[in-house]
């Protein structure tokens, strides 16, 4: 308790020390290019006391993957739970679903993704990079981020006054599909705006030897408008986006649709010695599931989840006393069912949460210290019942500079996750999974105790990253089958156990800028155990080896830019080669040729929802992309 008391004392009286200190970043508020203002804590690019992996979309687009969400699956510690291209959701260190926070334009995406057969779909245009934060230490993003965070960061406005537009068209051989998108951006002296839209259409995908995967087709659509305004007092920007994903249910006669409408408003201004950043978001997620009976589609699920979020964050930097961040978050979720649905999976319900957090970072000689505390109070109300969950979380990170190029990091954290509406109240058929699921209103909040040690070394040509972690989750919520049947479906009960997930990640990268070569290799290994039942947890990825070789040169003859990327992924079950090459024909026209699963390997990943059906992943997929800038 002593360190907690000392921390609180520093938060209360720290701002009184050095009130005449200059405020770093004040010029960012006056410049349009600072519409996305990032604060830094002891070298990190986010408000969490952990390392942030940031991947520019330029590199994601150069991969052979058909989307940016699929492309992040090649990162160490990141896997994807899939059921065809229309159902994709990230898994970080063996955890997924409600334990992973997905952010878009600073807004946390909330959807009816209670089952593993539900994916996420976000507009991919207007994004500058994707940030991945692993483990439960990122408590600034929410008390339930036990697995980590995937953050899609928006583009900054144009650097020069004027307009710029981009059009892209991509074709795919394995699905006989295409993807088209367009974005136009404009900047004036004190304002900026952009509009973008896109459409993806894919048929049933081809497997290496079994023909097509029946009903794996899907269609996706998105549209978005962004505005921003900057003056001496600060800046404000916002966006409205709409995204729809319609996909078949593989091996079943039916289809599902998930649509999102998202409004976000962000602002940054100075209030005394604090830089203040309020964010307001509203999201409507509408999910439907249809089953076909004798050639006719019947509506089996019709649910709407409305979520309102408000966050106010204050940032205070001192010349000699480090940086303090204080944040307040609140959200309300309301779930409603369509009037045509007779058998409800989840009743009409409301969930509200109020949270407050603070982060303090301080650097002294070779040491950097980063501490965070958080408190939350969540209430779930349905029918005539309600449950309340008071939660506390905290993390402490220490960074030691071994040499000029090497750092040793130690992070310990305690975090919580309250049960979701589905885990508490479900009592009906989950049509997408063909089972009857029953929630448990007496479930307690999960408690995750995580410790991680890592070593990072960066030099001119070589980068080395080693991480070892241990994450014990008490009250780990999952569902398990029973011997009972209802309406012809096997009953699955939501229940709790104690789980342990541990493992390590090893990555090495070598770069020779003169030759334009970059070679990378990474190895990941996790284990997951049910400590009470003494058995393995499902959906824990196997040991995985990945490697890539990149070649990039500028001004090769008449071509402005040229690159080749070859990647290789190996597990005990399969090995897959991908190849991508592209060139800039001129300042306006880019061409890319890609091949995923180049040697037509037949494989079923551990993380695939289709492994029980023995349906393999797509075979060789040749893709051609044409991009035009004007």
Q: Which domains does the chain have, with CATH numbers?
A: 2-629 (2.40.170.20)
Contacts of 211 (CB under 8 A, 6+ apart): none
Contact 247, 289 (CB under 8 A): no
Overall residue count recorded for the chain in this entry: 630
Helix (H) or strand (E) holding 61: helix 57-62
117-138 as b/e: b if 16+ CB within 10 A: bbbbbbbbbbbebbbbbbbbbb
Which spans in 291-370 are helix H? Answer: none
The strand pairing partners of 325, in sequence order, are: 315, 359
pTM: 0.85
Two tokens, residue 479? 């569902």
The whole-angstrom separation of Cα 180 and Cα 221 is 10
Two tokens, residue 252? 């079943």
Contacts of 102 (CB under 8 A, 6+ apart): 90, 108, 109, 120, 122, 149, 150, 151, 152
> Given the structure tokens 């006054």, which residue do they identify?
161
The whole-angstrom separation of Cα 452 and Cα 410 is 6
CA nearest 286: which of 504, 459, 118? 118
Mean pLDDT, 10 residues at a time, the chain of 630 residues: 36 35 32 29 43 84 86 83 81 86 82 65 84 78 84 85 95 96 93 94 94 92 92 87 90 85 92 91 92 80 93 89 92 92 88 94 90 94 94 92 92 92 88 80 95 92 94 92 88 94 94 88 94 89 91 68 89 91 89 95 87 88 95
The whole-angstrom separation of Cα 1 and Cα 297 is 60
Q: With 0-12 CB in 10 A as exposed, 13-18 as middle and 19+ as buried, what is 596?
A: buried
The whole-angstrom separation of Cα 403 and Cα 459 is 11
- Expressed in percent and rounded to 5, the helix, strand and coil fractions of the chain are 10, 60, 30
pLDDT at 558: 54
> Given the structure tokens 């001119």, which residue do they identify?
460
Residue 380 to residues 231, 333, 424, 568: CA-CA distances in angstroms? 41, 9, 9, 46
pLDDT at 575: 92
Long-range contacts of 328-334 (CB under 8 A, 24+ apart): 328/355, 328/356, 329/142, 329/353, 329/354, 329/355, 329/356, 329/357, 330/354, 330/355, 331/108, 331/110, 331/307, 332/307, 332/308, 333/110, 333/305, 333/306, 333/307, 333/421, 334/305, 334/306, 334/307
Two tokens, residue 455? 């070593």
CA nearest 309: which of 274, 265, 373? 265
Contacts of 202 (CB under 8 A, 6+ apart): 85, 86, 172, 175, 176, 177, 217, 218, 219
Two tokens, residue 26? 């004040």
Contacts of 458 (CB under 8 A, 6+ apart): 405, 406, 464
The whole-angstrom separation of Cα 255 and Cα 121 is 16
The whole-angstrom separation of Cα 200 and Cα 222 is 9
Is 489 in a helix, a strand, or coil? Answer: strand
């Amino acid at each position: 308790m002593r360190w907690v008391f000392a921390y609180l004392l520093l938060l209360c009286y720290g701002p009184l020390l050095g009130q005449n200190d200059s405020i770093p970043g004040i010029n960012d508020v006056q410049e349009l290019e600072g519409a996305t203002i990032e604060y830094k804590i002891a070298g990190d690019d986010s408000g969490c006391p952990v390392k942030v992996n940031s991947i520019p979309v330029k590199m994601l687009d150069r991969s052979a993957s058909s989307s940016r969400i699929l492309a992040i699956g090649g990162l160490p510690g990141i896997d994807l739970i899939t059921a065809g291209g229309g159902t994709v959701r990230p898994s970080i260190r063996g955890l997924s679903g409600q334990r992973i926070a997905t952010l878009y334009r600073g807004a946390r995406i909330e959807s009816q993704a209670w089952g593993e057969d539900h994916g996420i779909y976000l507009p991919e245009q207007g994004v500058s990079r994707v940030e991945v934060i692993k483990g439960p230490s990122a408590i600034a993003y929410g008390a339930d981020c036990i697995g980590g965070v995937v953050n899609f960061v928006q583009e900054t406005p144009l650097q020069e006054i004027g307009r710029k537009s981009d059009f892209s068209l991509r074709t795919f051989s394995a699905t006989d599909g295409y993807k088209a998108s367009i974005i136009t951006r404009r900047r004036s002296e004190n304002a900026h705006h952009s509009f973008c839209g896109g459409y993806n259409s894919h048929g049933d995908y081809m497997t290496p030897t079994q023909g097509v995967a029946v009903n794996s087709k899907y269609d996706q659509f998105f549209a978005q408008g962004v505005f921003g305004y900057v003056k001496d007092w600060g800046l404000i920007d916002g966006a409205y986006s709409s995204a729809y994903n319609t996909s078949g249910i593989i091996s079943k006669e039916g289809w599902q649709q998930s649509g999102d409408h998202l409004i976000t408003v962000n602002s940054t201004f100075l209030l005394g010695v604090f830089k203040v950043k309020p964010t307001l978001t509203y999201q409507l997620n509408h999910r439907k599931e249809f089953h076909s009976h004798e050639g006719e589609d019947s509506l089996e699920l019709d649910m709407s989840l409305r979520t309102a979020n408000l966050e106010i964050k204050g940032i205070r930097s001192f010349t000699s006393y480090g940086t303090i961040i204080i944040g307040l978050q609140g959200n309300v979720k309301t779930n409603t069912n369509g009037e045509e649905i007779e058998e409800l999976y989840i009743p009409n319900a409301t969930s509200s949460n109020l949270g407050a957090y603070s982060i303090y970072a301080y650097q002294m000689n070779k040491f950097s210290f980063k501490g965070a505390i958080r408190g939350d109070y969540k209430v779930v109300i349905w029918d005539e019942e309600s449950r309340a969950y008071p939660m506390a979380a905290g993390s402490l990170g220490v960074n030691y500079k071994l040499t000029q190029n090497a750092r040793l990091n130690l992070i310990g954290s305690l975090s919580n996750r309250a049960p979701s509406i589905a885990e508490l109240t479900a009592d009906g058929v989950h049509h997408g999974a063909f089972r009857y699921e029953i929630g448990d209103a007496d479930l307690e909040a999960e408690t995750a105790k995580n410790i991680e040690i890592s070593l990072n070394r960066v030099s001119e040509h070589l980068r080395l990253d080693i991480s070892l972690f241990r994450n014990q989750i008490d009250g780990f919520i999952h569902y398990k089958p029973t011997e009972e049947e209802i309406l012809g479906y096997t009953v699955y009960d939501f229940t709790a156990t104690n789980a342990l997930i541990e493992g390590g990640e090893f990555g090495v990268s070598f770069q020779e800028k003169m030759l334009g070569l970059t070679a990378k290799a990474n190895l990941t290994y996790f284990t997951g155990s049910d400590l009470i039942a003494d058995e393995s947890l499902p959906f824990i990825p196997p040991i995985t080896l990945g490697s890539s070789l990149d070649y990039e040169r500028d001004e090769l003859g008449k071509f402005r830019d040229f690159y080749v990327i070859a990647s290789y992924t190996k597990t005990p079950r399969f090995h897959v080669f991908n190849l991508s090459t592209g060139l800039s024909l001129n300042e306006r026209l880019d061409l890319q040729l890609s091949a995923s699963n180049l040697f037509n390997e037949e494989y079923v990943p551990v993380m695939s929802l289709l492994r029980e059906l023995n349906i393999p992943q797509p075979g060789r997929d040749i893709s051609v992309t044409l991009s035009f800038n004007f």
